[in-house]
Amino acid sequence: MYLSAIKEKSETYGTTNLSDIELLSILVGKNVVEIFNNHNIYSMDQLIGLSDLDLLKISSSKAICHKVKSFVELYKRKLKYEDNKLKISSPNEIYDNNRDMVLLNQEVFRLVCLDTKNRVIYKEDLFKGTLNSSIVHPREIFKQAINKNSASIVVIHNHPSGDSAPSNEDINITHRIYECGKIIGISVLDHIIIGKNNYCSLKERGIIN
């Protein structure tokens, strides 16, 4: 489909009937549908999981890559804006609101800060790479939590393997964070591990009281 055809579709049926990649084509000013479809990429959730190197493999045009990254960044900021209105009441809600982590190709440790009514006030990816106790340090977690005047926090990380079952290292890290939270006075409500289309709540497992 040429860019002119995508624009015509938009004018006829409205932008709500365009796919994520078709919308991206209009913003980029070039038809990227075929480029991304050739790599089995059809949605924003998949775009979020792409690294800079992945983008350059898909398109050698740095201009296109820059525009795609800007589009993705705008989308992420929109999600953060919506997060600030979200009230957390269950592990499933946490999972649904952080499904972008499913497609990440490396481990990422995310902090979610909540107010006294369990509303999200801040979210940040603190650590990336192979996560262990030497990398995931409670000091950095609670530094951010204190700066944001958090009443409580939820921590999340993904398993790129797709298996959400906690490792012994995951359990040890959770215990350290939980105990530090008790000392500091900021409750650790849960640690969610995200796999492929599934998740594990360490609170539901009884690892967090």
Rounded Cα distance between 77 and 32, Å, is 23
H-type alpha helices, 14-90: 20-28, 33-37, 44-48, 52-58, 62-83
pLDDT band at residue 114 under the 50/70/90 scheme: very high
What's the pLDDT at 1? 53
The per-residue pLDDT for 160 is 92
**pLDDT, the chain, mean:** 86
Between these two residues, 86 and 118, which has the higher pLDDT value?
118
The CATH fold of domain 3-82: DNA polymerase; domain 1 (1.10.150)
Give me the mean pLDDT over the 186-197 stretch. 95
pTM value > 0.75: no
d(Cα 129, Cα 187) in Å, to the nearest integer? Answer: 26
pLDDT, position 203 = 96
Phi, psi of 151 (to 5 degrees): -85, -30
The single-letter DSSP state of residue 201 is E
Q: DSSP letter string over 74-143?
A: HHHHHHHHHHTT-B--SHHHHHHHTGGGGG-SS-EEEEEEE-TT-BEEEEEEEEESS--TTTS-HHHHHH
Is residue 147 very low, low, confident or very high in pLDDT (cuts 50, 70, 90)? very high
Homologous superfamily of domain range 86-201 = Cytidine Deaminase, domain 2 (3.40.140.10)
pLDDT at 31: 66
Predicted confidence band at 151 (pLDDT cuts at 50, 70, 90)? very high
Per-residue pLDDT for 138 more than 80? yes
**Do the domains 86-201 and 3-82 match in fold?**
no
Most confident among 31-45, 71-85, 94-108, 139-153 (mean pLDDT): 139-153
Q: What pLDDT does residue 207 have?
A: 92
Domain boundaries, the chain: 3-82, 86-201
Q: CA 34, CA 61: separation in Å to the nearest integer?
A: 15
Can you give the pLDDT at residue 133? Answer: 64
For residues 151 and 114, the answer to whether their CB atoms sit within 8 Å is: yes
- Give the model's pLDDT for residue 130: 78
pLDDT of residue 83: 58
Tens-digit pLDDT profile for residues 45-100: 777 777 778 877 787 778 888 888 887 887 777 776 665 667 888 999 999 989 88
